[in-house]
Structure formats: C-alpha cells, structure tokens
Amino acid sequence: TRSIDLAVVAGDGIGTEVVEQGLAVLESAVAGSDVKISTTEFDLGARRWHATGETLTDEDLGRIKEHDAILLGAIGDPSVPSGVLERGLLLKLRFSLDHYVNLRPAKLYEGVTSPLANPGEVDFVVVREGTEGPYVGNGGSLRTGTPHEIATEVSINTAFGVERVVRDAFARAQARPRKHLTLVHKHNVLVHAGHLWRRTVEAVNAEFPDVTTDYLHVDAATIFLTTNPSRFDVIVTDNLFGDILTDQAAAITGGIGLAASANINPDRTAPSMFEPVHGSAPDIAGQGKADPTATVLSVALLLDHLGLTEEARRVETAVAADLAERGGRVRSTAEVGRELAARVAG
C-alpha cells in the first residue's frame, strides 16, 4: 500500500465547493488500487484572518511541509484588504515551498468553445517562474500619499533562479512531440533581466540540442495568443508575464473555469501545490454553480506529479469526455463532480 498525505487548503469562496469535488474525483481515481489518500484540512484564508489576524503561521507551514502534496481551492475575499491574503498566504506558500515552476497547461478540448473564430489546435504549456520577478516584494513607497510619492517594485532575477526554471522548461519541451520552447520577455526595455533570460536560454539549449527555440516580446506574445495560438508548444517566462499570459491562455481555451495549475518544487524538497487558476469568485460563492473542472484537472496534475501517471490520464480523459458532451447543459458543482468521478471509476 502506498499512502499519500494530502494537505487541503480549500480557502475562500468557491474554493471549498470546487475542492470537495476535486477530492471526490481523486478518491475515485485511486479506488480499488493500493494507493490510500489521507487528507488534512488547513483552515486558512479570510475566515481565519478575521478570527485571528493570522494568514499563514510558521506552525501551519511546518505542518503543511510534512505532506506529500497540497490541493488548494482559492484564496481571497473582498472583506480582506487587497494583498493581505495574496502575499501573506498564497505567495508565501509558493515562495516558502520553493515552487519555482508554476506550470499552466492551455489546451482547447473538443467541445469547448473558444472566443476565437479560428483557434486551430491549441495545446501548449506555460512554465511561469514562481519565486522571483516583481513578486518578491522588493520595493517600497516614499513620501506616501503626497504628490511626490515614489513607489517601486523591483523585479528580482537571479542566474540561479532563471537557470533552474529554464532547464525545467527545456526538459518539458523535450518530452513533447513538437519540442519547441518560446521565451517570452521584454528585453528591448527590461534589458538587464531580459538579457539574463536570453543568455540563459541560449546556454541551456546546449543541453537540449533537439529542442528548437524562439523569442517573443511579451506584447507580441499577446498578439499571437489571439491570432495564432497553435504556434506555441512550451512558453517559459517570468512570474508577472506568466501571470498575465496564463489568464489570456485560459480565456482562449474556454475560460478560467477550466484552467488548471501546478506549483511545482521539482527538487522535491517540499510538497508541490495544485490549484485552479481562478480565484474565489465571491459573486457566485455558496450557490453551488462554480465549475469544478479546473480543480479536477489540477488533481490530474497532482496525480502525475506523484508518479500516478495512469490515474492522471484517466482523470484527464474523463474531463475530455465530459467536455466533449457538455454542450450548453447547466449543471451544479456537485453534479459535474459526481459525473466526473463516475467517469473516472469507469
């Protein structure tokens, strides 16, 4: 028997609703096998912050680290000042657990309507750097609130950090049929960081000679994501560009209700974390109508990361089949979860 200890951070809003269905599908995927999943729920997010003023304590973090993986729903609520939970909880998890690969697949499944008239075949992954860039919080404000205010957010790009994520992206490109990697940056303006990224891609390419590469400035990348998304196979980019591009990638492949993500620590020095790209959607929270599909696809990424490749494949196949037959049918969160779980069980 293999036992998997899963930390569950359902979080805020629809987070709890979609995670419940994600867990049901996960159970269904390992049912009848020798894999046993045990879950520990962590009370983190808006409720906890209101009650205690805490976002993520050292003790929480220590306990989370003892798990094999983390499933996260969504963090954030309008009742909490912007940035408190984002920085104090979500980003703190990504940074503390060294999730330097933020993997975000973008695939247009059969049966899903893209807002693009002629999307073509869309199947690429974005490898978004997860621990550096403008997200590190290196900045400040002088003369705050005055007409002479100076606000800075310094983007940190280290040779170490860029190289490790670029190497991971090359490895992913090499494992895919098209073996193509696109670096997205803005080296005509952000010359220091941009050239570090460019030199690094060039250098690491020597280790992966069969992978072809190209480069796009981020503004041009947004054009091609709209006009010709089929050209992309693997995109590697920094934390902020990756944040923006992956929302666009989600939009062209059916919306954030379907977009999955994995925050991976490839060195396995801490558990990786799997979460839908969407947020807590307070406007529809508690109504049982959020689409759990993004969370279920994140569960597939989780299974894959844990080496349960066959189980991961079954979950993705179930989602693909469900999407192909979905049409305009309106189902509740629980109905979608139940039907996916049933498909996975076969």
From the list Mn ion, ligand IPM, none, pick the one residue 90 interacts with, judged by a Cβ distance below 5 to 8 Å according to partner type.
ligand IPM
Report the C-alpha gap between 131 and 181 in whole angstroms: 21
Q: Which of 186, 233, 304, 322 is catalytic?
A: 186
123-129 and 234-237 strand pairing: parallel
Rounded-to-10 torsion of CA 204, 171, 258, 5: -120
Stretch that binds ligand IPM, among 12-20, 37-45, 83-91, 194-202 (CB under 6 A): 83-91
247 catalytic residue (yes or no): yes
Is residue 129 at the binding interface for ligand IPM, with CB under 6 A as the rule? no
3-state per-residue secondary structure call for 72-137: EEECCCCCCCCCHHHHHHHHHHHHHCCCCEEEEEEECCCCCCCCCCCCCCCEEEEEEECCCEHHHC
User: Which of 312, 258, 303, 315 lies closest to 69 in space, CA to CA?
Assistant: 303
186 catalytic residue (yes or no): yes
150-153 and 2-11 strand pairing: unpaired
Residue 243 CB, shortest distance to Mn ion, in Å, is 4
User: Which of 69, 59, 133, 139 lies closest to 97 in space, CA to CA?
Assistant: 69
Q: Would you give the binding string for ligand IPM spanning residues 260-299, x where CB under 6 A is met?
A: -----------------x----------------------
Residues 226-245 binding ligand IPM (CB under 6 A) are 243
Q: Which of 5, 179, 215, 247 is catalytic?
A: 247
Residue 52 CB, shortest distance to ligand IPM, in Å, is 21
289 is in an annotated binding site: yes
286 is in an annotated binding site: yes
Nearer to Mn ion among residue 12 and residue 243 (C-beta): 243
Nearer to Mn ion among residue 77 and residue 243 (C-beta): 243
Nearer to Mn ion among residue 102 and residue 200 (C-beta): 102
Residue 247 CB, shortest distance to Mn ion, in Å, is 6
C-alpha dihedral sign at 305, 265, 22, 175: negative
150 is in an annotated binding site: no
135 catalytic residue (yes or no): yes
* Residue 35, beta-bridge partner list: 2
Of these, 20, 86, 153, 335, which contacts ligand IPM (CB under 6 A)? 86
From the list Mn ion, ligand IPM, none, pick the one residue 315 interacts with, judged by a Cβ distance below 5 to 8 Å according to partner type.
none
Is residue 243 at the binding interface for Mn ion, with CB under 5 A as the rule? yes
Helix (H) or strand (E) segment spanning residue 245: helix 239-252
Q: Are 88 and 124 in contact (CB under 8 A)?
A: no
Nearer to Mn ion among residue 102 and residue 157 (C-beta): 102
Stretch that binds ligand IPM, among 86-94, 219-227, 264-272, 286-294 (CB under 6 A): 86-94
94 is in an annotated binding site: yes
Q: How far is CA 250 from CA 105, 114, 122, in A?
A: 9, 10, 11
Is residue 90 at the binding interface for ligand IPM, with CB under 6 A as the rule? yes
Q: Are 218 and 208 in contact (CB under 8 A)?
A: no
338: tokens are 């139940």
| Residues touching Mn ion, count (CB under 5 A) | 1
Nearer to ligand IPM among residue 54 and residue 86 (C-beta): 86
* Residue 182, beta-bridge partner list: 214, 235
Catalytic residues, by residue number, are 135, 186, 219, 243, 247
- Which chain residues interact with ligand IPM by CB under 6 A? 86, 90-91, 243, 277
